[in-house]
Structures are given as structure tokens and as C-alpha cells.
Amino acid sequence: MNTPSLVSKLPNVGTTIFTVMSGLALEKNAVNLGQGFPDFNCDPYLVDVVSSAMKEGLNQYPPMAGVPVLREAIASKIIALHARPYDPASEITITAGATQAIITIILAIVHPGDEVIVLEPCYDSYVPNIELAGGIPVRVPLTPGTFRPDFDKISAAISPRTRAILINSPHNPSGTVWTRADMLRLQEILAPTNVLLISDEVYEHMVFDNQAHESAARFPGLASRAFIVSSFGKTYHVTGWKVGYVAAPADFTTEFRKVHQFNVFTVNTPVQYGLAAYMANSKPYLDLPAFYQHKRDLFRQGLKATKFKLLPSEGTYFQCVDISEVSELSEIEFCKWLTTEIGVAAIPLSAFYGDGFDQRVVRFCFAKKNETLNAALARLKVL
């Protein structure tokens, strides 16, 4: 009798470092500044409007692309912030979070043998998504230390087989924010090509020090070739709700929805109606930069009492530090030691590189209650 066996489609994928570090943090009763999610509640009013939608009977399948009132609210937000009109009916789709949005985009546009440029360090779903589609990831490093885009390297990586480039600003894990000049340079490089753009903008409302978020929607030469991804979970402190959206030209959206309808079909109905009602007030997302900048500043001030070298945190809710003056351990071993012996969990940046590049940098998440951050700082001050 034969025993069936499987040949893995993702042979290089194992248990993620996020799972490992969170498990270790729980075991050691450490303050978990590793995984990127808040430990505080969302606005009670947001829960109220979602609950109201449930009580009103809005609990059956919504339209495949998302409820019209939410798509209309998103289109209004984008045009107000970035002056780019998107047709809610044909150019905006509600997704089960940004991660589902990204794999759906890649499955829709990448054919076997196509190349997709990713800029490392990068979010850990990008490369497996490309591989599942039969594509070839082309890894281009951001500049070590500053994590600025190296446009000469990006330009050199474009070949006749390049199908798309995937960018992320504000950037996880580094906290770097692309400037207007960066986006214009990318637009210039892509102009003579047929390369598509996937712009991961889930941290769009977390940009500090009076900088602007330079969405791909602001640049006609980028918007016309771009799938733009965002996340309500990040913006409204509800990462567990897993709701996001994609804005893209109508012909791109048609192909996106062909895949979307078969891997998700549609997204939680009452949450969509609740989000639409909540978006009537722009204050929550317009106030988000100041909210997180306060936490960033509190955390950075506390870290100054340590031997960590603070890297810039221009956006997101992440702070990276150089550990060279603290330890000679590798990033991974240092994070395990920090969790076990000091009682604070962090994530090694090497986990965001395909080759495990170790530059002595680790990432903390400051999307936490102030008392959580202060508890972590009290433990870290011995370093």
C-alpha cells in the first residue's frame, strides 16, 4: 500500500521568528515588543458601530468587492489626501487584510517565470507569495544602516522578465519613509517599462515629524501602474479584524477580483458597515501621527539610557536599534538572550532578509500602552 507524500511548494519556509519570539516571551513572562500589534483597545465607538450593524441584521454575504458605502468612503479619503480619484465601483476592493490583498495581487499578475523585485529587508509574506505564483523573487537590498532605496541597484535589477516591483513605505521593519524625491525617481525609472507597482502602504497614517506620506496615488506615472494596499487593522488598532483594501486602475482591478472571488470571495459584512460609519470622521486617522509620535518619543527617550544606538524612526510603530555596543551575539541569539535574561522581546532584522543578513540591528514595536513601554524600559536600562 502506497503512502502519499507531499513535495512542499514552500520548502524554505518554517516556523516564523515572530512565532518563536512570542512563544519565548510568553514562556519567560517577558514584555513582548516583538510582534507588531497594539496591546490597547480601539475606540469604543468603532465597536459600537460594528455592533449596531450586526444588530440591524447586516450579517449576510456582502457584494464580492465590498459594500459600496465603504468603498465610497475610501475613495473620498484618497481624493482628499492625495488628489487621486478612484471609482468606488470599479477601482476599490475590500480585502481580508493587507496580507491577503498582496498575495491576491501577486497571483493575479505574476505568471511562472516572471520576476518580481523586492527590497530587503521586507515583510515576510512577499517572497513566499511570489514563489507560490511561480514567480522569481529578485532581491535588491535597501542601503544598510539607513535603509534608503538604492535606485541604481533597483534600475539594474529590471530585466525583460520583470513583472512587478513591491515597495513599502512607511517601511516595516526599518521605520524609513520614502520622500517625494524617492517616488519621483521611481516614477522616472519605471516610465519606459511595463513593470507594475505593488505599493504596500499599511502604515500610511504613521508618519512623524511633520513629514507627508507620499502615496503612489499622488504620482500619475505610478498610480497608473499601481496596486495600492492599505489596512484598517493598522489604522484603527484592530489588527485581528483583518480588513484592508486595494485601490488600482479598473483593468487591474478586474484581474484582481478574478482571484479575490475564489480565495476569499468577500469580507466580514458588519465590520465593513461599521468601518464606513466610522470613516465619516477623519479625525482618528488624521490624529494618528501625533498619537504614535508621542509613543515613539517616549520610547526613544528611555532607550537613550542604554548603549543601544538608535536608528531613525520616521514612520510605522517600529524602532530599530544597533546592538553593537551592547553585545557580540548575533541578532537572533541576542533577541533570545534579551527575552530570557532581560525580559523584553524584540525581533532580529536578519529575519527580514532571505540570506539572514546580520547587521547587528533588532526591531522593537512601540504600539503599546505607555505602562507597557515604561515596564520594558525599566528592564532595558541595565544594558
| pLDDT block averages, 10 residues each, the chain of length 383 | 86 82 90 93 98 98 98 98 98 98 98 98 96 98 96 98 98 98 98 98 98 97 98 97 98 98 96 98 97 98 97 98 97 96 96 95 98 97 93
pLDDT at position 69, please? 98
Domain 17-42+286-380: which CATH class? Answer: alpha beta
The neighbouring-strand residues paired with 247 are: 92, 228
Cβ-contact 324, 293 below 8 angstroms: no
pLDDT at position 13, please? 84
C-alpha to C-alpha distance for 101 and 99, rounded to whole angstroms: 5
Written as one letter, the residue type at 350 is: S
- Break the chain into its structural domains and give their ranges: 17-42+286-380, 44-282
pLDDT at position 119, please? 98
pLDDT at position 311, please? 98
All three cell numbers of 326, joined, read: 551592547
Instruction: Tell me: cis bond preceding 121? Omega within 30 of 0 counts.
Output: yes
pLDDT at position 355, please? 94
Q: How far is CA 376 from CA 240, 276, 329, 333, 383, in A?
A: 24, 36, 21, 19, 12
The neighbouring-strand residues paired with 345 are: 32
pLDDT at position 2, please? 81
17-42+286-380 shares its CATH topology with 44-282: no
Cα distance from N-terminal residue to C-terminal residue, the chain: 60
44-282: what fold?
Aspartate Aminotransferase; domain 2 (3.40.640)
The residue ranges of DSSP E strands in the chain, in sequence order, are 31-32, 92-95, 115-120, 136-141, 162-168, 196-200, 226-231, 244-247, 309-310, 318-322, 344-345, 347-348, 361-365
C-alpha to C-alpha distance for 160 and 261, rounded to whole angstroms: 30
Cβ-contact 65, 71 below 8 angstroms: yes
Predicted TM-score (pTM) of this structure: 0.96
pLDDT at position 18, please? 82
3-state secondary structure 192-206: CCCCEEEEECCCCCC
Tell me if residue 119 falls in helix, strand or coil.
strand
All three cell numbers of 219, joined, read: 504620482
The owner of cell 515572530 is 18
